[in-house]
């Protein structure tokens, strides 16, 4: 047996090998691991008889008790079976582990992955998210940490130790009520706390909408260009996606689409279309609600940056436009508080909240209770409203600085959006590839995103840069845009040179 599993390592051996810090594992543990490994790799084949505990103890130089305990452990987990004739290797069901050495094999063969895994395309890395110009990144250095710490401490004082247990699966009632009250007042949403389901950010809210309202193969409409998170959620639900173009009035649905591609879900960001920044017109909102109602479809209203309106009067939510609209209103605290909080929500229509209560109790687990309670406190105490007010003013100032810089360096600049939120979108001429420019910008420590990366069908209209100003101080914006403009000029010059070189080549060939 020692030839199959090798000798066990003792402290003295380790010292001789020069390993003074690493003590070998206890002999019993080593013996168990060696035998397991030999069984898994087939060196001890199924059905083979292991030596008696007495013999193996002598061979390995350990006490008999060590071997007996090792055999008992292996029997308890099913590697071996003990009967009257002795201890035998159990035939294991996973043939792949027996058919060859495990070490060095791929973790799982390609076919083991679900098809949807291959449908994701790499577009970003998280490390870049700290760079200036990152879209969707709030001014983290302006977050009122002291007030937040106070809210957390109060929650701990009042709610511990009970809040260490599982919470209500749909979220802390205090937070659901606080959100409902805030949404009624600030966004004109028609809701009560009982309709609010707390989720792990907007992303989980989108996933939940897919799980509650669709079956695999159903059709979901997505804005094109549009939010990648929505597409990821629809992909996970095995939905078919119909790209719907976007113009200055937001999502532009072709009249025949309702019959040709009847949707189950329609994703829209009406307050500030992501990423073009268009505001969905009231006429289109009403038409969408009316048609969705007639076709039995659900509208997902992603109000991700509706709180930061910079021009004119606030535009109320689509959900609140008419009574009982077929709207699933999704929100997030990632921008209004900070992304790592991972708290978002979906407001379900009243009747739906009742019908899905049982399913939600089974599907969700209540957690992050202290953060939820602290957030409820933060909202109720007025801290949240004050923070929003301060951030609105800050983002307005930053947006103006970005506009000025773009006008100065990219004239004539075609800038989209800006009524809400924390980014502007700059259209680029077709000859200037947005992905290449983004790559070069990243090398300079700047992180705008390529507009084309948000499109299901990229084309000249989706060639551009999505430029965030939330996390970038006003005085940093002009130098950053200057860098972008230099990179763009350099690309244009190279493109012009290569075109004239290819013209010369063509002429010579003629």
**Residues found near ligand PLP in the complex (CB under 6 A):** 136, 201-203, 227, 229, 269, 274, 302, 304, 332, 334, 339, 344
Name the helix (H) or strand (E) containing 179. Answer: helix 173-187
**Cα separation, 483 vs 493, whole angstroms:** 15
Q: Compute the half-sphere exposure of residue 193: CA atoms within 13 Å on the CB side of its CA.
A: 12
> Which is closer to ligand PLP, CB of 28 or CB of 336?
336
> Which is closer to ligand PLP, CB of 159 or CB of 302?
302
> Which is closer to ligand PLP, CB of 155 or CB of 334?
334
Burial zone of 149 (CB within 10 Å; 0-12 exposed, 13-18 middle, 19+ buried): exposed
Asked, as a colleague might, if the bond just before 229 is cis with ω within 30 of 0, I would say no
**Cα separation, 14 vs 37, whole angstroms:** 21
Give min distance, CB of 249 to ligand PLP, in A.
18
User: Any idea what DSSP says for residue 7?
Assistant: P
Give min distance, CB of 140 to ligand PLP, in A.
14
Give min distance, CB of 204 to ligand PLP, in A.
7
**Cα separation, 44 vs 6, whole angstroms:** 13
**Cα separation, 330 vs 345, whole angstroms:** 6
Give min distance, CB of 496 to ligand PLP, in A.
35
> Which is closer to ligand PLP, CB of 60 or CB of 230?
230
Among residues 266, 256, 270, the alpha carbon closest in space to that of 218 is found at 266
> Which is closer to ligand PLP, CB of 159 or CB of 466?
466
Give min distance, CB of 406 to ligand PLP, in A.
21
The two three-digit tokens of residue 187, written as one number: 């966004």
> Which is closer to ligand PLP, CB of 80 or CB of 246?
246
> Which is closer to ligand PLP, CB of 178 or CB of 202?
202
Is 120 strand, coil or helix? coil
Give min distance, CB of 272 to ligand PLP, in A.
9
**Cα separation, 498 vs 491, whole angstroms:** 11
Helix pair 350-363, 201-213: axis angle to 10 deg: 100
Give min distance, CB of 452 to ligand PLP, in A.
16
**Cα separation, 435 vs 123, whole angstroms:** 10
> Which is closer to ligand PLP, CB of 340 or CB of 509?
340
**Alpha helices for 46-199 (secondary structure H):** 53-60, 64-76, 95-98, 145-159, 173-187
């Amino acid at each position: 047996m020692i030839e199959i599993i090798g000798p066990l390592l003792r402290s003295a051996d380790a010292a001789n090998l020069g390993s003074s810090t690493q003590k070998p594992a206890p002999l019993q543990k080593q013996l168990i691991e060696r035998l397991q490994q030999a069984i898994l790799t087939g060196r001890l084949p199924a059905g083979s008889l292991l030596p008696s505990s007495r013999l193996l103890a002598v061979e390995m130089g350990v006490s008999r008790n060590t071997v007996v305990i090792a055999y008992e452990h292996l029997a308890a987990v099913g590697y071996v079976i003990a009967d009257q004739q002795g201890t035998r290797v159990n035939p294991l069901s996973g043939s792949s582990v027996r058919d060859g050495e495990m070490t060095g094999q791929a973790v799982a063969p390609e076919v083991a992955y679900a098809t949807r895994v291959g449908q994701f395309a790499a577009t970003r890395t998280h490390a870049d998210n700290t760079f200036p110009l990152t879209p969707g990144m709030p001014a983290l250095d302006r977050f009122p940490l002291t007030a937040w710490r106070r809210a957390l401490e109060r929650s701990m004082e009042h709610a511990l130790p009970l809040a260490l247990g599982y919470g209500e699966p749909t979220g802390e009632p205090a937070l659901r009520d606080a959100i409902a009250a805030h949404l009624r007042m600030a966004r004109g949403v028609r809701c009560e706390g009982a309709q609010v389901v707390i989720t792990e950010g907007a992303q989980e809210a989108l996933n939940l909408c897919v799980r509650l309202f669709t079956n695999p193969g159903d059709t979901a409409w997505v804005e094109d260009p549009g939010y990648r998170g929505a597409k990821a959620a629809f992909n996970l639900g095995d939905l078919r996606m119909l790209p719907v173009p976007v113009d200055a009035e937001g999502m532009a649905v072709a009249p025949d689409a309702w019959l040709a591609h009847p949707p189950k879900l329609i994703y829209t960001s009406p307050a500030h279309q992501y990423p073009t920044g268009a505001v969905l017109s009231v006429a289109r909102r009403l038409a969408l609600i009316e048609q969705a109602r007639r076709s039995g479809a659900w509208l997902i209203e992603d109000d991700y940056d509706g709180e930061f309106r910079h021009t004119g009067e606030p535009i109320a939510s689509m959900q609140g436009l008419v009574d009982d609209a077929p709207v699933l209103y999704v929100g997030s605290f990632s921008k209004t508080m900070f992304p790592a909080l991972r708290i978002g929500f979906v407001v379900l229509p009243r009747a739906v909240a009742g019908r899905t209560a049982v399913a939600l109790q089974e599907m969700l687990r209540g957690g992050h209770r202290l953060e939820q309670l602290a957030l409820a406190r933060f909202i109720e105490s007025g801290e949240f409203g004050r923070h929003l007010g301060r951030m609105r003013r800050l983002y307005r100032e930053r947006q103006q600085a970005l506009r000025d810089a773009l006008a100065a360096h990219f004239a004539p600049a075609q800038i989209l959006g800006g009524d809400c939120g924390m980014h502007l979108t700059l259209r680029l001429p077709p000859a200037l590839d947005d992905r290449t420019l983004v790559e070069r910008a990243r090398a300079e420590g700047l992180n705008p995103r390529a507009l084309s990366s948000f499109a299901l069908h990229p084309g000249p209209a989706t060639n551009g840069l999505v430029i965030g100003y939330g996390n970038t101080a006003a005085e940093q914006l002009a130098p950053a845009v200057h860098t972008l403009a230099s990179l763009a000029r350099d690309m244009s010059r190279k493109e012009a040179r290569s075109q004239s070189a290819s013209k010369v080549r063509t002429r010579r060939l003629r």
